[in-house]
Copies of this chain bind each other. A is one copy, B any other.
Amino acid sequence: MHILVTNDDGVQAPGLLALAQAVRDLGTVTVFAPDRNWSASGHVKTMDRPLRARQVTLSDGSPALTTDGAPSDSVALALLGVVKEKIDLVLSGINPHENIGHDVTYSGTVTAAMEAVIGGVPGIAVSLNSPEEHLDPLDYSTAARVARRVAQKALAGGLPEGVLLNVNVPYLKDDEIKGYAVTRQGLRLYRDELDARKDPRGKPYYWIGGDFPTGVIEEGTDFGALKAGYVSITPLQLDLTAREAMERLRKWEW
């Protein structure tokens, strides 16, 4: 088994190392991740400039590849041949914050797993529902063990074609986790606010600010599972068709 590990926080992020270390005994692990943070940068295919790929060393001394492209570019480059050996599974993470509800199309962690599926390889995104405020460093050990378990299941059972898994792990110790819940994508409530400022020359600039997003706590959703202390496993697809809306639109007189 050959597992590609990537993320959207950059190749030296502790969550990536925790993930890579957790799955090393499942097969060959290749780490290939962006050289900088790409959070909330979406699903990217870089075609207007060439991309670099170079070797780096992770903090445990193991080798990794890094690129100046986006998380999804890392996956595309690996699958297109920068990594010579066939890849059986792409793991993306561990993101320090959860990726639930509408986060999934923004998230570099999730879109890297989307890119895997488009390339015909199973993809799993793993994110940690860490508290908004915490004393560094975050403890990724539970999430890493969860990721290993989900990866094992996916390698053994096979993922449905065209489906990626979006895994979110509560910030709890192993024995505090209530279990695993297969969930649907919930509803995010963003609380973005415009923070308009003036630069030293009096010209306006804008931060997208506001409070950390919340979500609708509902049973059966990613958000509900996390709140109840469960690992949330949401199968996602790349067909966004709103089927229920089709009939209504057909009634419009075209």
Contacts and interface: CB of A to CB of B under 8 A. Distances in A.
A236 interface: yes
B207 A50 contact: yes
Interface residues of A, number: 73
Contact of A48 (B37, B165, B203): B37
Interface in A38-83: 39-48, 50-53, 70, 72-73, 76-77, 80-82
Nearest to A251: B157
A163 interface: yes
A195 to B, nearest CB: 8
Nearest to A244: B160
A240 to B, nearest CB: 4
B45 A208 contact: yes
B184 A239 contact: yes
Nearest to A254: B180
B246 A236 contact: no
Contacts of A208: 45-47, 51, 73, 76-77, 80
